[in-house]
Amino acid sequence: MKTTIYIVEDDGDIAELIDFNLSVQGYETKVISNGDEAYDLIIEYPPDLLLLDLSLPGLSGIEIAKYVRSSPEVKDLPIIMLTARSQETDKIIGLKTGADDYITKPFSVKELSARIEAILRRTKKHYDEMLTNGNLTLELGSRIVRCNEDVVTLTPKEFEILSALIKANGNVVSRLQLVEKVWGNEDAADEHTVNVNIKRLRDKLNDCSKYIKTVHGLGYRINPQ
């Protein structure tokens, strides 16, 4: 499967140049010119790496980086910030916000490619990690779920719930713990929200739904296989 890179850049010429060169190198790319649209796509369909301009219509690059780092489902997403700003304070702000690297325009495509490859090498172990339980497998990097080798399409929240349960190694995970792990500080989430998502998760998993056990009065656990 190709590595997916989102190019969040509102300068059409720069975005086209990056898009062309990364596509030639074998990456799957998507150009996004608006910060609001970018954030929605990142959360719903996380890429393997994010090239993020600081100055954007809608949400700024700094705001997107902050939201990404505070979102449990994408908090480890590698980010390279692209900007015309070259002052040291701007770089410090970008890196403190959570960027893995920072490159100032104008830059050479070779330099950008080298930085992308370096970051992907550092994060490869995490992205290759796989969780298994019986006939159920989760690929953490690509966020692909399979039951009996059939791909199961889950929402990011459903994926995080399933991941949290498998990582617990058969121990009970309370509804409150799932709220904290999956939704963080979102006020809209509560124990009822967890129950609804568990039901949807079980419906989608078909045969593999048997692994998710309800522990009445406590929460849920995965029956280890």
| pLDDT, one tens digit for every residue, the chain (225 residues) | 678 999 999 989 999 999 999 999 999 999 999 999 999 999 888 898 999 998 888 998 889 998 888 887 788 889 998 887 665 566 666 666 778 888 888 888 899 999 999 888 877 655 557 888 999 999 877 788 999 988 999 888 899 899 999 999 899 999 989 988 888 765 667 888 899 999 999 999 999 999 999 999 899 999 987
DSSP-assigned beta bridge partners for residue 7: 31, 51
User: Smallest Cα–Cα separation from 52: which of 108, 123, 101, 12?
Assistant: 101
Domain termination site, one of 64, 98, 128: 128
Hey, what are 16's tokens?
């086209």
CATH code assigned at 175: 1.10.10.10
Residue 100 in tokens: 């893995």
Q: 3-state class of 82 per DSSP?
A: strand
CB 164 within 8 A of CB 201: no
* Domain span holding position 98: 4-128
Count of structural domains within the chain: 2
Q: Which residues pair with 221 in a beta bridge?
A: 213
Burial of 99 (C-beta count, 10 Å sphere; 0-12/13-18/19+): buried
- Asked whether residue 14 falls in the same domain as residue 99, the answer is yes
Is residue 34 helix, strand or coil? coil
